[in-house]
Structure 1
Amino acid sequence: MNSTPVTDYEYDLDDLSEDSNVKVEEHLGYCREAACIITVIFNVIIFLLGIIGNGAVIWITGFKMKKSVNTTWYLSLALSDFIFCATLPFTIDYMMKNNWIFGLFMCKFNSFVMTLNMYSSIFILVIISVDRCITVKFPVWAQNQRTVQKASVVVMLVWFMSSLLSIPPAKFREIHNEDSKDICYANYENHHKTVVFMRFTFGFLIPFLIIFTCYSILIRKLRANQMSKSTKPYKIMTLLITTFFICWLPFQVVSILELDRTERSFAFHTAQQVSGSLACANSFLNPLIYVFMAKDLKKCYFFLSKIESAIDEETRSAFRATSITNSVDNRHSTAV
């Protein structure tokens, strides 16, 4: 074995380089420290709210609302978060016992699911941003070409690419037995920097640049058409993207800082736990955004009503923005 086994807490954050001085024995035993207990409680909350909230979004966008391009995006986003939340009980059990009892396959699968959730979520947010940009920039083309069938194909490609990018972290997962306890850890050998570089580049940097570019184009177009004060069709998209970056940026930063560390202090270990938990929190925040962004909360007395109202309002707002843009462009053309 070329690297020292390290307990991972399933966040893929505690994966240290092969020169790590951290010993497995330091992690054996049950969850007794305050930080560990708080993290477990936080993950239980994420699991409960994530399953309920994303399950509600899946039911609404998949079965209750009329099929549209927008509901296709949000359905895919909710499915990604729901699948991740469904695997959290394995992580919670591991954090409490520091003993992985679910075998090598689930050790690899848990890592695969979290990475899949990260990639699929950010890729869908990129698609939503590009879709909004095209809708505003080329309204006539968008009206003729944006179909549910094409959106479904795009979603399938997103999941396929996310799955491919999620294979490397899962591939390096191994189980090490120490004092009758199994430790699920990442044995990256000499590939740690490569994995972190791929995760940062494709899961954060490139998506950020694309989204930033789309937003710049949108803002310029809306201001040019004097629409910025009269319509707000991008409020949910803005919050979803902002929430994703707030939740995942600490994870990416800690992962990069971890590359050059051969020893792990208590403060850095705490940073790993906090950033990992924050990354997981993104999976239950999206449904809450739908609820609190509903325009008329007084008329939406129930949780499901609020989610449906928010998504439906966002869809109609985007359509109105497209119509206004198209109308303004037509007037400009006529004037010329």
Structure 2
Amino acid sequence: MADIAQSSFPLKHQLSMTSSFPPNSTLNLSSPSELHCPLLQTMISNTLNKDKSVNLAVVGIHGVVSALGILENGLVLWVLGFRLQRKTVAAIWVLNLALSDFLTTLTLPLFTHYLLMNHSWELGSLLCTAQASIFFLNMFVSAFLLTVISLDRCLLVTKPVWTQNHRTVSAAWKICGLGWAWAAVNAFPYFMFRSVVEKQDRRKLCYHNFALYSSSDKLHTDCKVRQAATAVSKILLAFVIPLVVIAISYTTIVLHLRARRKRLESRRLGASKGKQKSSKFFSSLSPSGEQNGARLSQSFMKMVVSVIATFILCWVPYHVFCLLEVTAQYKTEIVDLVEVSLPVATTLVFLNSVLNPIIYTFSCPNFSTRIRQSLGALFEGLVEEAAPLVRVTERMRKNSLFPSSPSSPSASRTQHGSQGFINLFDFKSSPNKEGERDDKM
């Protein structure tokens, strides 16, 4: 691993870089007509990551993770998008989260190929730009959706009457569309400044080139401002501010539920033993009366908390090294650390998109059952033989799985399983108002 002091820069360039980057200096070795920011030029001169055995091990891990992530998120999209008969608001949130993760895992093979080629991007500038744009799009969309889910849970607890009238599936789709548009706007600078540059050792680097659309007299200022602006904006908009809103939302939920529990306990203690109606009313508010709804609510809350915790753990290292990347403009001795550690932190970010479907599966009791039923029906179709008796049997099986008459026993079982899955994603559904809630949730 070569140090900056051992690079092929002239001594006067090394001395000037260790203190501060000189204004209007491109430090470009490959092409005199092409402008590069000093930080990028330093990376161009470095020759790192030449341990082939370690690289092959990392490539193998990436290959397994990418295949697993695509399969998992594809199954989540299939179940929520096509197997769920009636979608709820919470199902819309999770569906969009899964779509964002699925797009990210689709780019994992590109990153794996980069590692396979000894940390050299050989796929061209178009795929380089596409991979980076999807990566940052997922970053902003995930943060936005997790924030919206937390606010949604908070409103369900603190404003139940308002949510009964305004919380609809159509509104959820509009909010998700707004989130995707907001994420696209924030990811646009990374789309504009992403390019492929050739290093001194002939390897290619897919990286931010903030010298694009700049001139030699403004290069020094543009590089510093653009590097700092993109790093600080993504940390604030995709990490710090969402976490503050999430923390406030769940603190409000805990305080509100604690106050509600105290009010119920005080009413029980003050209630007269002779008031049968009051006794029945409070018994309906007891845990035994809300056992199913509370269980489903806790399952979804546990899933949301697990997804948020995984998001924090996977993204913290990345944002830390992004800040170090900005600092490397002034302290060039940490450039090697940033160049080696940032891909590792990026790998951890990709792992977030792989872990989310696992959290969905273990948090939702009926989710894994629906996947097994869907896969079972699929593979039965694959091994089907075209015999008359088999076709009749298959037709009878389809009628039992998707009955047209709701009065049949098989229809009752199917509707019961589907409703259990729907209630998991929206615990406010009431058996007495099922027809009314179907249209809204």
Correspondences of 1:73-112 after superposition (within 5 Å):
73-97=93-117, 98-112=119-133
* Distance of 2:337 and 2:173 partners within structure 1: 44
* Distance of 2:132 and 2:317 partners within structure 1: 18
Alignment deviations for residues 159-198 of structure 1 (CA, whole Å, 9 cap, x no partner): 0000010011221112223566533221122311111011
* Distance of 2:94 and 2:27 partners within structure 1: 41
Question: 1:69 is matched by which residue type in structure 2?
Answer: V
Q: Are 1:259 and 2:326 matched, yes or no?
A: yes
RMSD value over aligned CA atoms? 3.2
Among 248, 257, 261, the alignment partner of 1:222 is 257
Q: 1:290 to 1:29 in 2, by over 3 A?
A: closer
Q: Are 1:200 and 2:207 matched, yes or no?
A: no
Q: 1:185 to 1:124 in 2, by over 3 A?
A: same
Question: 1:249 is matched by which residue type in structure 2?
Answer: V
Moved more, 257-266 or 53-62: 257-266
* Distance of 1:130 and 1:39 partners within structure 2: 38
* Distance of 1:140 and 1:45 partners within structure 2: 47
Aligned to 2:301: 234
Indicate conservation of the 8 Å contact 2:48/2:340, yes or no: no
* Distance of 1:81 and 1:298 partners within structure 2: 19
Aligned to 1:280: 350
Aligned to 1:314: 424
TM-score w.r.t. length of structure 1 = 0.81
* Distance of 2:366 and 2:245 partners within structure 1: 32
* Distance of 2:206 and 2:368 partners within structure 1: 48
* Distance of 2:239 and 2:106 partners within structure 1: 24
Aligned to 1:213: 248
Aligned to 1:116: 137
Question: 2:425 is matched by which residue type in structure 1?
Answer: T
Q: 1:202 to 1:2 in 2, by over 3 A?
A: farther
Moved more, 23-32 or 294-303: 294-303
Name structure 2 gaps, 5 residues minimum. Answer: 1-24, 30-35, 211-222, 262-284, 376-417, 434-441
* Distance of 2:27 and 2:301 partners within structure 1: 47
In the TM superposition, what is the alpha-carbon distance from 1:26 to its structure 2 partner? 4.1
Correspondences of 1:126-145 after superposition (within 5 Å):
126-145=147-166
Aligned to 1:41: 60
Q: Are 1:61 and 2:80 matched, yes or no?
A: yes
* Distance of 1:310 and 1:282 partners within structure 2: 27
Q: Are 1:71 and 2:91 matched, yes or no?
A: yes
Q: 1:313 to 1:49 in 2, by over 3 A?
A: farther
DSSP-derived class of the 2:327 partner = coil
Q: Are 1:292 and 2:362 matched, yes or no?
A: yes
Q: 1:80 to 1:301 in 2, by over 3 A?
A: closer
Aligned to 1:327: none
Indicate conservation of the 8 Å contact 2:93/2:149, yes or no: yes
Q: 1:112 to 1:71 in 2, by over 3 A?
A: same
Q: 1:303 to 1:95 in 2, by over 3 A?
A: farther
Which structure has the higher relative contact order (CA within 8 Å, separation 6+)? Answer: 1
In the TM superposition, what is the alpha-carbon distance from 1:20 to its structure 2 partner? 6.2
Alignment deviations for residues 189-227 of structure 1 (CA, whole Å, 9 cap, x no partner): 231111101110101011011111101111111112229
TM-score w.r.t. length of structure 2 = 0.63
In the TM superposition, what is the alpha-carbon distance from 1:295 to its structure 2 partner? 3.8
Indicate conservation of the 8 Å contact 1:17/1:192, yes or no: no
Aligned to 1:183: 205
Q: 1:61 to 1:181 in 2, by over 3 A?
A: same
Question: 1:163 is matched by which residue type in structure 2?
Answer: A
Q: Are 1:152 and 2:173 matched, yes or no?
A: yes
* Distance of 1:208 and 1:264 partners within structure 2: 28
In the TM superposition, what is the alpha-carbon distance from 1:134 to its structure 2 partner? 0.9
DSSP-derived class of the 1:184 partner = strand
In the TM superposition, what is the alpha-carbon distance from 1:151 to its structure 2 partner? 0.5
Q: 1:62 to 1:297 in 2, by over 3 A?
A: closer
DSSP-derived class of the 1:175 partner = strand
Indicate conservation of the 8 Å contact 1:21/1:263, yes or no: no
Indicate conservation of the 8 Å contact 2:40/2:209, yes or no: no
Query: Taking every aligned residue pair, what percent have the same amino acid on both sides?
Result: 29
Moved more, 230-239 or 154-163: 230-239
Q: 1:54 to 1:20 in 2, by over 3 A?
A: closer
Aligned to 2:405: none
Q: 1:22 to 1:234 in 2, by over 3 A?
A: same
DSSP-derived class of the 1:99 partner = coil
In the TM superposition, what is the alpha-carbon distance from 1:94 to its structure 2 partner? 1.3
